[in-house]
Amino acid sequence: MNLKEQAAREALKFVQSGMVVGLGTGSTTKFFIEMLSEELKAGRLKNIVGVPTSQSTVALAESLRISLAGVEDYEMLDLAVDGADEVDPQLNLIKGLGKALLREKIVETHAKHFVVIADESKVVEKLGIHVALPVEIVQFAAGAHVRWLNTLGCAAELWLEEDGKPAMTDNGNYLAKCTFKDGISDVHILAAELDSYSGIVEHGLFLDMAQTVIIGKENGPEVKTKK
């Protein structure tokens, strides 16, 4: 079992029959959704409803015959399980390199318990050290939004696909990537600046959201909880 699978297996311990579960997006969460389906087919879990965070997750869950609903159908979800691109010592995250950050943040904000699953390569002392921060922007005046992002101490660029076309989210928005040479100095200040700008729909800083982070390690999973 690889480290991503190991973390996904540990996350299943948080699932109980009858729960409404937010289903994240990405390679690590794919393992979790497949394992959840196995538990349902075996009858070890029953009456689970999934709330997907992307069209790709919808397709996967439907192919595995997991019942789905929208986040608007429930006041609160019992649980949300998703991956992360980076995790810092305070359990703050960079997410969204799977292009689903807005829907992920909406679903996970509505969960009573947000569990993050990742392998040990995602653990960092400072966010932005290894990966770019994704930012979802409106198509209108996209170049101006990217230019403004470059004033924040990063190298920002429009996220382009291999064919040269702008990367598009399920919401019909563009994405920018912001690279910080030495990591992000203050994630809360940066998040506040990003939240204040009109052309930005959402950003990949998931701060003070995760209650539990499960890290897959060679000697077994490590479970970290918010203090």
At 18, the pLDDT band (50, 70, 90 cuts) reads: very high
* pLDDT tens digits for range 63-82: 999 999 999 999 999 999 99
In CATH, what number is assigned to the domain containing residue 166? 3.30.70.260
Please give the residue range of the domain that contains residue 169.
133-203
For 164-218, the DSSP string reads SSBPB-TTS-EEEEEE-TT--S-HHHHHHHHHT-TTEEEESEE-S--SEEEEE-T
Structure tokens at 171: 């919401």
CB 206 within 8 A of CB 213: no
* pLDDT tens digits for range 22-53: 999 999 999 999 999 999 999 999 999 999 99
> Residue 146, SS3?
helix
Specify whether 157 is located in the same domain as 212: no
**Region of 141 on the Ramachandran plot (φ > 0 left; ψ -120 to 50 alpha; else beta):** left
- Over range 98-113, report the average pLDDT: 98
How far from the centroid of its chain's Cα atoms is residue 57's Cα? 12
Residue 1 has pLDDT above 70, yes or no: no
Q: Which residues are catalytic?
A: 104
Q: How many domains does the chain have?
A: 2
Specify whether 116 is located in the same domain as 13: yes
Specify whether 145 is located in the same domain as 158: yes
- Over range 115-124, report the average pLDDT: 97
Specify whether 43 is located in the same domain as 96: yes
For 34-71, the DSSP string reads HHHHHHHHHTSS-S-EEEESSHHHHHHHHHTT-EE--G
Integer-rounded Cα Rg, in Å, for the chain is 17
* pLDDT tens digits for range 170-207: 999 999 999 999 999 999 999 999 999 999 999 999 99
